[in-house]
């Protein structure tokens, strides 16, 4: 909505120019990078910055295209449009990262690179010694590397089909082979290891004589009519704990501060410390607790307690990371755009080896590049727009598809159709099984059988006709060994 002197009107984003003021309401996506010049609101910036909790914005605040107004309404003066926005710069970074990604070579390609020259030298040598064309024809049949063309594609078709049945979409067999060799897995935090859903984690009374349930009852009653994500978390916590929250007789949303409500004849304030101070409520000091967001509560002008809210771990996160370790992954790393305290708290809880926080998208790409430069095979798991460049730069990019951004899904090599971290361990298990099957096909179906056939030909036990018949054996063996992947049972799949 473009704000003009003559009134507001709806225009296409392409018609906006620098300096225009646009109105963005609750539930709408911000179309430009700019500065807030009016109004108050709460913005979900997780797709761009990785911040786990919504950020309150007021006059003078900076906002980004692609983020969503969770509550309130904002007048935004346009500063950057189109290709100049942070979102577009991230997409450009994806293209750069993809061009820098090292090419992945298949095992079959490496085998073929030395096998064919060796076979030709061998045949020439045999002819020079024996001068026997019949033996050479027999050897040509048994040294033909035809199974190399079957050994990998059959396995990959079966493995990709098996993964798809489990909700894991793989964009090519080459990425399955790469995933099997990965020794470092890098995770985004918000929306990947955490559910990106604020929840009450502690209710702490402060010398008021109220217990936790009473404190939660007043807070939930005040927040019942608020659309703010933190308010919804408080109301949901009360419902989960069986606390009945009465309907407020009066309600006022204070943008950037919290709420003020009249409940059962008592004035309730629920919000940040600034809200309480502006209403004359004495606080000894701001109550802060590192990685958790405090909601201060006052009843009739008296500070009574704090409700702490934090993003919660995604179900099964610890178990999934432990399973990855058991599968041979040597190092687990978490990269986050969130603050250091929040990131480290989540890192400790899920059990990663290293945490890097306060990162911009280009910083994540640099972190991935540094790991690759150290000789590691790196997989990156993410869900947001800000993760897309890192997904493209990693040897294997894995996108959480249930709530993942389109940019992340397009940049990734593997997409999970549900936000279930167990699917990552399942994809890894399928990849390792597929790679082992390729090795079996090459070294048993091609190697051992061909060595036996070549030996029989050199000894004169078989001729060209028998060789042609026996040569069908490796083909059948490779086929049967490959299709077994369709029926294999994988934990988590």
**46: DSSP letter:** H
3-state secondary structure of 85: coil
- Give the active site residue among 188, 291, 311, 420: 188
Tokens representing residue 450 in the block = 């061909």
Handedness of CA 76, 82, 86, 87 (dihedral sign): positive
Q: Is residue 281 within 8 Å of residue 336, measured between CB atoms?
A: no
The b/e string for 411-450 (b: 16+ C-beta within 10 A; e otherwise) is bbbbbbeebbbbbbbbbbbbbbbbbebbebbbeebbbebb
Length of the chain as a residue count: 493
Q: Give the containing element (helix H, strand E) for 98.
A: helix 86-100
The radius of gyration of the chain from alpha carbons, rounded to an integer in Å, stands at 31
The b/e string for 192-211 (b: 16+ C-beta within 10 A; e otherwise) is bbbbbebebbebeebeeebe
- What is the spatial distance between Cα 346 and Cα 48, in angstroms, rounded to a whole number? 19
- What is the spatial distance between Cα 192 and Cα 366, in angstroms, rounded to a whole number? 20
Kind of pairing between the strands at 414-416 and 396-400:
parallel
Task: Provide the Cα torsion 201, 227, 189, 65; round to 10°.
Answer: -160
Q: Is residue 295 within 8 Å of residue 234, measured between CB atoms?
A: yes
Task: Provide the Cα torsion 137, 140, 146, 147; round to 10°.
Answer: 110
Contacts of 12 (CB under 8 A, 6+ apart): none
> Does 223 participate in catalysis according to the annotation?
no
CA 254 from centre of chain: 35
- What is the spatial distance between Cα 308 and Cα 201, in angstroms, rounded to a whole number? 6
Compute φ and ψ for 453, nearest 5 degrees. -65, -40
Please report, in angstroms and rounded to a whole number, the separation of the first and last CA atoms in the chain: 46
Q: Is residue 297 within 8 Å of residue 304, measured between CB atoms?
A: yes
Q: Is residue 184 within 8 Å of residue 324, measured between CB atoms?
A: no
Closest CA to 166 of 414, 332, 397: 414
Q: Write out the E strands in 120-233.
A: 168-170, 184-188, 194-205
- What is the spatial distance between Cα 112 and Cα 482, in angstroms, rounded to a whole number? 19
Q: Which residue numbers are catalytic?
A: 188
């Amino acid at each position: 909505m473009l704000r003009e002197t003559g009134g507001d009107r709806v225009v296409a984003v392409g018609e906006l120019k620098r300096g225009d003021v646009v109105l963005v309401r609750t539930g709408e996506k911000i179309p430009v990078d700019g500065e807030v010049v009016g109004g108050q609101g709460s913005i979900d910036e997780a797709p761009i910055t990785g911040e786990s909790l919504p950020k309150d914005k007021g006059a003078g605040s900076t906002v980004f295209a692609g983020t969503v107004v969770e509550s309130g309404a904002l007048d935004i003066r346009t500063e950057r449009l189109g290709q100049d926005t942070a979102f577009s710069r991230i997409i450009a970074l994806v293209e750069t990262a993809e061009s820098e990604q090292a090419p992945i070579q298949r095992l079959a390609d490496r085998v073929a690179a030395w096998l064919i020259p060796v076979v030709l030298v061998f045949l020439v040598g045999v002819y020079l010694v024996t001068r026997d064309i019949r033996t050479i024809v027999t050897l040509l049949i048994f040294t033909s590397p035809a199974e190399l063309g079957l050994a990998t594609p059959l396995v990959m078709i079966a493995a990709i089909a098996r993964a798809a049945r489990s909700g894991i979409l793989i964009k090519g067999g080459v990425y399955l082979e790469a995933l099997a060799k990965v020794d470092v897995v890098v995770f985004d935090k918000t929306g990947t290891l955490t559910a990106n859903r604020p929840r009450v984690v502690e209710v702490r009374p402060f010398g008021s004589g109220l217990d936790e349930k009473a404190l939660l009852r007043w807070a939930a009653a005040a927040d019942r009519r608020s659309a703010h994500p933190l308010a919804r978390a408080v109301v949901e916590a009360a419902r989960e704990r069986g606390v009945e929250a009465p309907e407020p007789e009066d309600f006022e949303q204070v943008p950037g501060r919290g709420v003020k409500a009249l409940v059962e004849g008592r004035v309730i304030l629920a919000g940040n410390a600034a809200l309480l101070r502006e209403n004359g409520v004495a606080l000894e000091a701001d109550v802060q607790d590192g990685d958790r967001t405090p909601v201060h509560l006052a009843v009739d002008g008296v500070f009574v307690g704090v409700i702490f809210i934090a993003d919660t771990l995604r179900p099964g996160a610890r178990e999934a990371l432990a399973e990855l370790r058991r599968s041979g992954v040597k190092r687990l790393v978490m990269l986050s755009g969130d603050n250091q305290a929040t990131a480290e708290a989540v890192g400790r809880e899920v059990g990663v080896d290293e945490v890097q926080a306060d990162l911009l998208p280009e910083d994540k790409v640099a972190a991935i590049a540094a790991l690759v430069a150290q000789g590691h095979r790196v997989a990156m798991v993410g869900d947001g727009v800000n993760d897309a460049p890192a997904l493209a730069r990693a040897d294997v990019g894995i996108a959480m598809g249930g709530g993942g951004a389109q940019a992340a899904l397009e940049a990734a090599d593997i997409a999970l159709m549900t936000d279930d971290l167990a699917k990552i361990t399942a994809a890894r298990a399928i990849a390792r099984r597929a790679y082992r099957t390729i090795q079996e096909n090459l070294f048993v179906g091609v190697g051992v059988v061909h060595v036996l056939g070549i030996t029989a030909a050199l000894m004169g036990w078989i001729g060209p006709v028998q060789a042609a018949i026996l040569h069908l054996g490796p083909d059948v063996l490779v086929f049967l060994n490959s299709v077994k992947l369709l029926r294999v049972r994988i934990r988590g799949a």
